[in-house]
Amino acid sequence: MMRFFKGSDNYSTGYQWSQLADPPVWVMEAAKRWYHHQNVPSYDGVRHFVGKKYLYLGFFEREGQGNVQWYFYRILKGRHPDMLLEKLKGAVSRYEEAITCQNAMLAKNPDDPIALQTKAIALKKLERYQEAFGCYERMLKNNPNNPNSWNNKGFVLLKLGKYEDSLQSFNRALELDPMNSWVWNNKGTAVHKLGRPEEAIDFFERALRIEPKYPDACNNMGVAIKDLGRYPEAISWFDRTLTINPYYAWAWFNKGLSFSELGNDVEAMACLNKAVELFPHPSIIELQKVLKEQLKKPIHDYSEIPRLLGLMQSEIPQDRVNASYQLDLKAKEGSAGDIIREKPFDTFFSTIKDTAPETRRNTLWILGNLGYHGYSYEVAQSGIIPEVVAQLSDSEEMVRAAAAWSLAMLAEAGQGIAVADSGAILPCIHILNDKETVVQECAALALDKIAFFGSPEPVVQHGGVSPLVKLLEKPHDEIRCRALWALWSIAIRGYSDEICQVENSITALKLSARDSNLEIRKAAVSIIGLLSKTRDKAFLEKKDLEKILLICVNSRSNRVRGAAIWAAGIWADEGLGQLLIQAGVKDAIQSLLNDRSRVHVFYDNEHRWKERSIGCISKDVIEKLTQKPQANVIDPCKPDYRTAYFISQNLLQALEKNNLIKAQAFIIHLEDVVCEEILKEVGQKRDLLLLCIDEGINSVGDEFINEVNLLKEKIHRKAMRKS
Residue 346 scores a pLDDT above 90: yes
Tens digit of each residue's pLDDT (9 = 90 or more) over 462-476 = 999 999 999 999 999
pLDDT mean over 469-497:
95
pLDDT mean over 541-553:
92
Question: 446 near 424, Cβ under 8 Å?
Answer: yes
Residue 551 scores a pLDDT above 60: yes
pLDDT mean over 543-563:
95
pLDDT range class, residue 511, cuts 50, 70, 90: very high
Residue 122 confidence (pLDDT):
78
Residue 666 scores a pLDDT above 80: yes
Burial of 664 (0-12, 13-18, 19+ CB in 10 A): middle
Residue 30 confidence (pLDDT):
46
Residue 64 scores a pLDDT above 70: no
pLDDT range class, residue 9, cuts 50, 70, 90: very low
Nearest 5°: phi and psi at 612? -145, 160
Residue 115 scores a pLDDT above 80: no
Report the percentage of the chain scoring pLDDT > 70. 83
Residue 259 sits at the vertex; the CA angle it makes with 232 and 437, to the nearest 5 degrees, is: 35
Secondary structure E strands in 366-486: none
Residue 491 confidence (pLDDT):
96
pLDDT mean over 20-40:
43
Residue 59 confidence (pLDDT):
36
| Rounded CA separation 75/79 (Å) | 6
Task: Give bridge partners of residue 609 from the DSSP assignment.
Answer: 602
pLDDT mean over 106-112:
77
pLDDT mean over 504-509:
95
Residue 124 confidence (pLDDT):
78
pLDDT range class, residue 68, cuts 50, 70, 90: very low
Instruction: Pick the closest to residue 31 from 7, 66, 4 (CA basis).
Output: 4
Residue 630 confidence (pLDDT):
57
Residue 47 confidence (pLDDT):
35
Tens digit of each residue's pLDDT (9 = 90 or more) over 605-651 = 777 888 999 999 999 999 999 886 555 544 445 788 888 888 998 89
What is the set of domains in the chain, with CATH numbers? 13-233 (1.25.40.10), 298-463 (1.25.10.10), 470-633 (1.25.10.10), 641-722 (no CATH)
- Give the least confident one: 208-212, 276-280, 412-416, 635-639: 635-639
Higher pLDDT, 89 or 274: 274
Mean of all residue pLDDT scores within the chain: 83
Residue 629 confidence (pLDDT):
58
- Give the least confident one: 18-22, 313-317, 356-360, 508-512: 18-22
Chain Cα centroid distance, residue 234: 18
Higher pLDDT, 24 or 395: 395
Handedness of CA 291, 296, 300, 304 (dihedral sign): negative
Residue 70 confidence (pLDDT):
40
Task: Give bridge partners of residue 602 from the DSSP assignment.
Answer: 609
Tens digit of each residue's pLDDT (9 = 90 or more) over 232-265 = 899 999 999 999 999 898 999 999 889 888 877 7
Question: 589 near 568, Cβ under 8 Å?
Answer: yes
Tens digit of each residue's pLDDT (9 = 90 or more) over 299-314 = 445 568 999 999 999 9
Residue 270 scores a pLDDT above 50: yes
pLDDT mean over 671-687:
89
Residue 279 confidence (pLDDT):
79
135 Cβ neighbours under 8 A, 6+ residues apart = 116, 117, 119, 120, 123
DSSP letter, residue 21:
S
- Give the least confident one: 1-5, 327-331, 352-356, 438-442: 1-5
Residue 26 scores a pLDDT above 90: no
pLDDT mean over 708-723:
82
Residue 4 confidence (pLDDT):
30
Nearest 5°: phi and psi at 609? -85, 140
Residue 288 confidence (pLDDT):
76
- Give the least confident one: 66-70, 98-102, 322-326: 66-70
| Rounded CA separation 174/168 (Å) | 10
Residue 377 scores a pLDDT above 70: yes
* pTM for this prediction: 0.67
Residue 302 confidence (pLDDT):
52
Consecutive H or E run containing 603 = strand 598-603
- Give the least confident one: 119-128, 228-237, 322-331, 370-379: 119-128
